[in-house]
Structure 1
Amino acid sequence: MADPAQFGHDRLAHLLSDRLLSVPRFQRGYSWEPPNVAEFLDDLKTARSESQPYFMGTVVLADDAADPSRQIIVDGQQRLTTTAILVAAVRDRLRQLNKLEPASVIDKNFLQTFDLEEEDNVTRLKLNAEDVRVYEEILAAQAPVDDKHPIVACYKMCIDHLAEVAPSEAHYRDLVNVVTHLDKSVQVLLAVASGLPEAYVIFETLNDRGADLTTADLLKNYLFSQSRTYLDHVEQQWSAVSRAFDKPEDLVKFIRHEHSSREGKVTTRKLYKVLQSSIGRGQKRVRDYVGRLEDSLQPFTAIREPDSEFWGRTDVDVRDSLLAFRRFGFESSMPLLLAVLNSWEITPAAKMVNKIAGWSVRAWFAGRLGGGTAEEVFSDAAVAVSSGRSKTQDHVFESLIKLIPTDQEFRQAVISSGSVSTGRAKYLLAQMERQHLAQLGVSVEAQPDWSGKSVSVEHVLAKSSGVTEFSSSADYERFQAGKDSLKNYTLLERTLNRKLADKPFEEKARMYQQSKFLLTRELGQNATWTLADSDARATELAKLAIAAWPYR
């Protein structure tokens, strides 16, 4: 039977002097930002000035079976790392003031110690792979190669802070007091577990309300606490998943969409409790869940990366659809996309991706993607796919029918649509252009890549047009309301678009006729352009939209 966990009090810097600690390889790297560091330094300064002890929360450690000389930090990594950086900055400030002996004592007691077996200095706090190099460069008083690393930012802030604490050699005792305060008065509640599974149970219990923790942190600790004999396997899979995301909130989005793709809509606020219930207890259930999460990572990543190798397994072109998801932020459809890509063969799945993009465009024009209704509908459709009930495009269409406007509704929505960002307008106009070419039996091969920087969106009636250029103030108000709408946009190569922004339509028309975009060339055949012409163009664009993003 494993030894029971030990609980007690300790002091923050004393943990560095009394133990050899390490950050586990699966733990996220140092992530405190300048505001966090500034608050930490200010709080310590206040506590020192008042000669008061200062409580810094809980630290959870676990014995490391692979390295009995060290203990693993389960909770407290950010605070301990910041403390070590502050202590290193004190040492370096003492060296700047030519106080070499106290600097040496601080280095030996808190930062590095001599290991008789290795016959070399070893760091008392060993960080993980993404942080270890820059941290050890600071310990060795070397200029860090990566000067944008969060640890470097923290170190610079500490040095600046200490220059104020001890502006000259006469104040060097104030530097020593910083370390003494950390060693004697900055208190923590310490829990030391006999192994990682027990440590994560403690961690989750102490943080049951989730304060200052992301859902990803809570979920990770729950999974590790339940994984038992599969711990190494679960660690590796979790690390593979979490490394794919730069921000914790993006990882949480993925976890939420993956869950919604199988079991229906869940909000971020309720996600952790729902996952606990869904996964249940037991190492096999945890192993299966993490495996499923890892399996979903590739299709999820591919949805966001049109050039992913994932799409090389099919001849269906999904690039424009994936760019639409990105430009319009169609997050609510993500569970359904995941369900389709996880459940169907790649070619019918890719075709379904294009259909979902088209239906999403229709729903966006009709204003049906706001609020929680759309996500609920898409998630319910996803569950039907994941469970095997929906096996065809027709089945999915029936699941989404309340979101998809009919041709008549869509036509009116396009005609009356308001302002559209130029990024979205590029996609919309490009798809209408392709539909126009297809209806005329013309190849799209010569068309420029609409998504590239070589193509811009041009205002037909100049955005800067003044009231004097219209027959009445009412017309000017109409122009103001629709100047950034689709009917006043056209695609144009940047080489043709230079210095056109404020030109009258007559000058623009000559340049439009040189474009490779047919809709733009046709626009250039007009001698003049009025608000009535814009309204007529809106009707023509609506006809193309109905064909470009068909109802069924």
Structure 2
Amino acid sequence: MSRATMLNTRTISFLELIGNGKRYRVPPYQRDYSWSEEQWEDLWNDILALRQQTNEYHYMGALVVQEASSDHDLLIIDGQQRMATLSILALAVIDRLGDLAKQGIDADDNRERAKELRNRFIGERDPASLIESSRLTLNETDNPFYQDYLVQLRKPINPRILPKSNRLLWQCFQYFKERLGDLSDIQQNGIELTRLLSETIARQLLFILITVADDLSAYTVFETLNARGLELTTTDLLKNYLFSLVKVKADQEALQRRWQKLIDTVTPERFPEFLRYHLLCELPKVRSQRLFKLIRERVRDPIEVFALLTALESRAELFAALSDPNHGFWIELSEARPYIRELNLFHVRQMAPVLFAAWERWMPDNPANFVSILRMVSIISFRHTVVSTLNPNELEPVYHEAAKAIISHQAKTPAAVFELLRPIYVPDHKFENDFATLAISTNGQRKKLVKYILAMLESYRSGRHCDPDTDPASIEHILPENPSQEWEQMFPQSQWEAAVYRLGNLTLLHAPANRRAGNASYREKVDIYRQSTYQLTKDIAELAPEEWTMELLERRQRELARIATAVWRIDAG
């Protein structure tokens, strides 16, 4: 990494960081304070451990800052949560010293200690104006509360009505005040209380300080640094960049309102994924690692910022709905719900650009076409990803071309879209062969996938709908997960592990029947299968009336594979 990208990297103590005459400012629209008791407790336990090991140090991770208007001003690009929390801890120590002075305990010395610690860690008054200058400035939501209440050691009148992040700041202050009160050796001892801050916290807590030149440099550091405590996200960086382009206050306020609504819809964690799929409707290849650079290249002024926001807003609700079959989007389009459930069950997302395009092209005038596309990508996903386990990187370029064709009206029907998607549609012969050897564990979340597959096969085989979500069946292992020794007569023990989760070894049974079958012998199980209401299970008794072997399992799975090829099929016409 060149010096132009990373101006300076060094290890620095909290005392050097906060006592070096620098002022640290959180960019106005960076995220609010969000640490809670879990993080406060971790930090406190680390500090307590350091008190017992005065020659040891604890690394707080990377602090990424950017030069601002002067040599003394730095923007906190990453690390605001830690800086805010340590500053509040310092204020808690200062307030505790004030309490001791008020109680008449070494009053003059404790007041002097509190004054010196405030000057060193919080800020100092200008000798001419007598205005206190804080070394830390938080974002627009948190800074007024931080400066007017915490820095001044004032209690808010009604903490319960504070905004969430302000409330967390206040709770953080209270937490550390209480923990300080729990330490018997410093409860009444101003010297030890001061030493906790000025020695343990100030000198034994270390940061990796990284000073960068600009937003792009910060993003490069973010992408390459792998250090404990790195908190900045792609969403934060993108937000900071977009807001930096908007200078007019009224526009900033409008952007903030709309941005917050957008983020609430898609969630901060999934915003980069959403943005990437949005761009893939237009661009053939968008890598996660280049999102920030791509936006910098495409968005350079306020008009382009708001144009991007408008485009994202038009797709945000659909993106959220694709992860939730109960989303309001599907109230009047209930036929879409089964396919939304399937796509989430398969854990696939790459089809999002095609669904964005199909929704915009055919809703609300022709919803049947949208549902057709939805079914199409579900079947493709099942064949490609679940059964044949092919490389998912093959999907995105094809979905991009299809999305572009739908948007430009070159693909006017679902059949035309399928022709574009055909390269990622696993052909019948390969799908059938892959299904014939498929094995899926029935533990954890995979259990739902197995029940879905068996329910779909049962629906086809019996001619009656078997809903995987509501049907009372449970999954029966013909060869049990924990076979008794008598199974060795039919099934060599060396084959048990390979066979137990094969699809050919799994079937559906009502729970009471499944409990009776349990680890019973095959001859006991087969009588239960004959009485089952599930056709797939009845078929086992006909195929294997007396014994269950690896050869019979293979034969049954080949038959299930033949059925599966008909169930998960797209007819091009």
**Mapping of residues 153-172 of structure 1, within 5 Å:** 167-169=185-187, 172=190
Q: State the match for 1:336 in structure 2.
A: 354
Is 1:498–2:488 an aligned residue pair? no
Q: CA deviation at 1:463?
A: 1.6
Per-residue deviation at 1:318? Answer: 2.6
Match of 2:87 among 80, 84, 88: 84
1:427 aligns with 2:452: yes
| SS of residue matched to 1:456 | strand
**1:376 corresponding residue in structure 2:** 397
Paired with 1:208 and 1:353, the residues of 2 have a C-alpha distance of 36
1:542 equivalent in structure 2: 561
What is the SS of the residue equivalent to 1:492? strand
Q: Gaps spanning 5+ residues in structure 2: where?
A: 1-14, 124-135, 223-229
Identify if the C-alpha distance between structure 1 residues 27 and 141 changes in structure 2 by more than 3 Å, giving closer, same or farther.
Answer: closer
Which residue number in structure 1 is paired with residue 370 of structure 2?
349
Mapping 1:383-394, distance limit 5 Å: 383-394=404-415
Please show how residues 317-466 of structure 1 align to structure 2 within 5 Å.
317-345=335-363, 346-364=367-385, 367=388, 369-420=390-441, 421-437=446-462, 440=463, 442=464, 444=465, 447=466, 449-451=467-469, 454-466=472-484
Instruction: Determine the structure 2 residue equivalent to 1:270.
Output: 290
Secondary structure at 2:370 match in 1: helix
CA distance in 2, matches of 1:144, 1:15: 33
Q: CA deviation at 1:352?
A: 1.0
Equivalent position amino acid for 2:394 in 1: T
Instruction: Verify the 8 A CA contact 1:457 1:492 in the aligned structure 2.
Output: yes
2:391 is paired with a residue whose SS is: coil
Q: 2:315 aligns with which of 296, 300, 307?
A: 296
Tell me, in whole angstroms, the C-alpha distance in 1 between the residues paired with 2:507 and 2:154: 58
Report deviation, 1:410. 1.7
Change (3 A) 1:45 1:232: farther
For 1:165-244, what aligned pairs fall within 5 Å after superposition? 167-169=185-187, 172-177=190-195, 179=197, 204=215, 207-211=218-222, 212=230, 213-229=232-248, 230-244=251-265
- Partner in structure 2 of residue 551 of structure 1: 570
Determine which of 298, 301, 310 is the counterpart of 2:329.
310
- Secondary structure of 1:470 counterpart: helix
Q: Which amino acid aligns with 1:256?
A: R
- Displacement of 1:163 in angstroms is 7.9
CA distance in 2, matches of 1:47, 1:292: 56
CA contact (8 A) 2:63 2:78 kept: no
After the TM superposition, which of the residue ranges 212-221 and 464-473 deviates more from structure 2?
464-473
The alignment's TM-score, normalised by the length of structure 2, stands at 0.70
Residue 129 (structure 2) aligns with: none
Report Cα offsets for 1:485-542 as digits up to 9, x if no partner. Answer: 2111123343543364322234444544665543234446664441333223212212
Asked whether the 8 Å contact 1:165–1:174 carries over to 2, the reply is no
Q: Which of 241, 252, 266 in structure 1 is aligned with 2:272?
A: 252
Does the CA-based 8 Å contact 1:61-1:74 persist in structure 2? Answer: no
The alignment of Structure 1 onto Structure 2 pairs a total of residues equal to 501
Residues 74 and 209 (structure 1), Cα distance of their counterparts in 2 relative to 1, 3 Å cut: closer
1:536 and 1:186 map into 2 onto residues whose CA distance is 65
Q: Which amino acid aligns with 1:416?
A: T
Distance 2:407 2:526 in 1: 52
Q: Which amino acid aligns with 1:337?
A: L
Change (3 A) 1:247 1:287: closer
Q: Which amino acid aligns with 1:325?
A: L
- Residues 1:501 and 1:140: Cα distance change in structure 2 (over 3 Å): farther
CA gap of 1:314–1:247, structure 2 versus 1, over 3 A, is closer
Q: CA RMSD in A?
A: 5.2
Counterpart for residue 27 of structure 1: 31
Distance 1:534-1:206 versus aligned 2 partners, 3 A rule: closer
Letter in 1 for 2:282: R
TM-score by length of 1: 0.72
Alignment partners' CA distance in 1, 2:510 and 2:170: 44
Aligned to 1:287: 306
Residue 65 of structure 2 corresponds to which residue in structure 1?
58
Q: State the shift of 1:168 in Å.
A: 3.3
Does 2:506 align with 1:489?
yes
Q: Name the SS of the counterpart of 1:252 in structure 2.
A: helix
- Tell me which moved more, 356-365 or 201-210: 201-210
- Paired residue type of 1:275: I
Cα–Cα, structure 1 residues 140 and 300, in superposed 2: closer, same or farther, change >3 Å?
A: same
Q: Is the 8 A contact 1:16 1:125 kept in 2?
A: no
Q: Classify the secondary structure of the residue corresponding to 1:402.
A: helix
How far does residue 304 in structure 1 lie from its aligned partner after superposition?
0.6
Task: Decide whether the 8 Å contact of 2:30 with 2:240 is kept in 1.
Answer: no
